[in-house]
Structure 1
Amino acid sequence: MKLYPLFADLHERPVLVVGGGSVAERKAAMLLDAGARITVGAPVLSPALQAWVVAGQIAHRAGTFEPHWLDEAWLVVAATDDAGLHQRIAELSAARRIFVNVVDDAARSSFHVPAVIDRAPITIAISSGGDAPMFARLLRERLETLLDHSLGTLATVAVKLRKRIRLRHPQPAARRRFYEQLFAGRVAGLVRRGRVDEAQAEAERLLASDAAAASGSVVLVGAGPGDPGLLTLRALRALNEADVILHDRLVSAEVLALARRDAERIEVGKQAGHHHTTQEGIHALMLEHARAGRRVVRLKGGDPFVFGRGGEELEFLRGHGIPYEVVPGITAAVACAAYAGIPLTHRDHAQSVRLLTAHCKASHDTLDWPALARERQTLAVYMGVSQLEAFQQRLIAHGRAASTPFALVENGSRPEQRVVTGTLGRLARRAAEQAVKSPALLILGEVAALAGSLAWFGAPPLDEAPTPPRPGCVDRPAGADRLLAAIHHA
Structure 2
Amino acid sequence: MHQFPIFLTLAGRPVVLVGDGEAAAAKARLIARAGGRVVPEWQDGARLAFVALADEGEARAAAEALRARGLLVNVVDRPDLCDFTTPAIVDRAPVTIAIGTGGASAGLAKAIRQRVEALLPSRLGALASALHAARGAIRARWPAAADRRRAIDTALAPRGPLDPLDGGAADGVEAWLATDGVLAPVRLETVHLTSADPDDLTLRAARLLGEADHIFHPAATPAAILDRVRADAARHVAAAPPADPPPGLSLWLTPLN
TM over 0.5: yes
1:207 counterpart = 2:180: no
Q: Is the 8 A contact 1:154 1:188 kept in 2?
A: no
The SS at the match of 1:116 is: strand
Question: 76, 85, 101: which one pairs with 1:112?
Answer: 85
Kindly tell me: are residues 101 and 167 of structure 1, through their superposed partners in 2, closer, same or farther at Cα, counting changes over 3 Å?
A: same
Q: Is the 8 A contact 2:88 2:110 kept in 1?
A: yes
CA apart distance, 1:186: 4.9
In 2, Cα distance between the equivalents of 1:2 and 1:206? Answer: 39
CA apart distance, 1:179: 4.3
CA apart distance, 1:101: 0.5
Q: Is the 8 A contact 1:166 1:175 kept in 2?
A: no
What amino acid maps onto 1:175 in structure 2? R
Deviations 1:439-463 (A, max 9, x none): xxxxxxxxxxxxxxxxxxxxxxxxx
CA apart distance, 1:4: 1.3
Q: Is the 8 A contact 1:115 1:127 kept in 2?
A: yes
The SS at the match of 2:57 is: helix
What amino acid maps onto 1:130 in structure 2? G
1:160 counterpart = 2:133: yes
1:135 counterpart = 2:105: no
Q: Is the 8 A contact 1:77 1:103 kept in 2?
A: yes
In 2, Cα distance between the equivalents of 1:147 and 1:163? Answer: 27
CA apart distance, 1:126: 1.3
Runs of 4+ in 1 over 3 A off after TM superposition: 177-180, 182-189
Deviations 1:397-450 (A, max 9, x none): xxxxxxxxxxxxxxxxxxxxxxxxxxxxxxxxxxxxxxxxxxxxxxxxxxxxxx
CA apart distance, 1:22: 1.0
In 1, Cα distance between the equivalents of 2:66 and 2:152? Answer: 47
Taking structure 1 as the reference length, what is the TM-score of the superposition? 0.34
Taking structure 2 as the reference length, what is the TM-score of the superposition? 0.63
What amino acid maps onto 2:117 in structure 1? E
Structure 2: runs of 5+ lacking an equivalent: 185-202, 205-257
What amino acid maps onto 1:28 in structure 2? A
Paired residue for 1:90? Answer: 63
CA apart distance, 1:104: 0.4
CA apart distance, 1:149: 1.6
Question: 173, 180, 190: which one pairs with 2:154?
Answer: 180
Kindly tell me: are residues 209 and 186 of structure 1, through their superposed partners in 2, closer, same or farther at Cα, counting changes over 3 Å?
A: closer
In 2, Cα distance between the equivalents of 1:34 and 1:209? Answer: 38
What amino acid maps onto 1:74 in structure 2? R
- Root-mean-square deviation (Å): 2.8
Q: Is the 8 A contact 1:18 1:80 kept in 2?
A: yes
Structure with the bigger RCO (C-alpha within 8 Å, sep 6+) is 2
Paired residue for 1:6? Answer: 6
In 2, Cα distance between the equivalents of 1:71 and 1:186? Answer: 49
The SS at the match of 1:165 is: helix
In 2, Cα distance between the equivalents of 1:6 and 1:186? Answer: 30
1:192 counterpart = 2:164: no
Q: Is the 8 A contact 1:182 1:203 kept in 2?
A: no
Q: Is the 8 A contact 2:94 2:128 kept in 1?
A: yes
In 1, Cα distance between the equivalents of 2:94 and 2:66? Answer: 31
What amino acid maps onto 2:71 in structure 1? I
What amino acid maps onto 1:154 in structure 2? L
The SS at the match of 2:136 is: helix
1:100 counterpart = 2:70: no
Kindly tell me: are residues 188 and 128 of structure 1, through their superposed partners in 2, closer, same or farther at Cα, counting changes over 3 Å?
A: closer
The SS at the match of 2:90 is: strand
Paired residue for 1:330? Answer: none
CA apart distance, 1:174: 5.3
Deviations 1:184-242 (A, max 9, x none): 445569x825x96xx1xx4223213443399xxxxxxxxxxxxxxxxxxxxxxxxxxxx
Structure 1: runs of 5+ lacking an equivalent: 42-68, 215-260, 263-490
Deviations 1:222-272 (A, max 9, x none): xxxxxxxxxxxxxxxxxxxxxxxxxxxxxxxxxxxxxxx88xxxxxxxxxx
CA apart distance, 1:157: 0.8
| Structure 2 counterparts to residues 50-449 of structure 1, below 5 A | 69-72=41-44, 73-169=46-142, 170-173=144-147, 175-181=149-155, 184-186=159-161, 192=167, 199=171, 202-212=172-182
The SS at the match of 1:206 is: helix
Paired residue for 1:28? Answer: 28
| Structure 2 counterparts to residues 453-464 of structure 1, below 5 A | none
The total of aligned residue pairs comes to 183
The SS at the match of 2:80 is: coil
The SS at the match of 1:71 is: coil
In 1, Cα distance between the equivalents of 2:63 and 2:28? Answer: 18
In 1, Cα distance between the equivalents of 2:79 and 2:2? Answer: 12
Q: Is the 8 A contact 1:79 1:103 kept in 2?
A: yes
- Whichever of the two has the greater Rg, that structure is 1
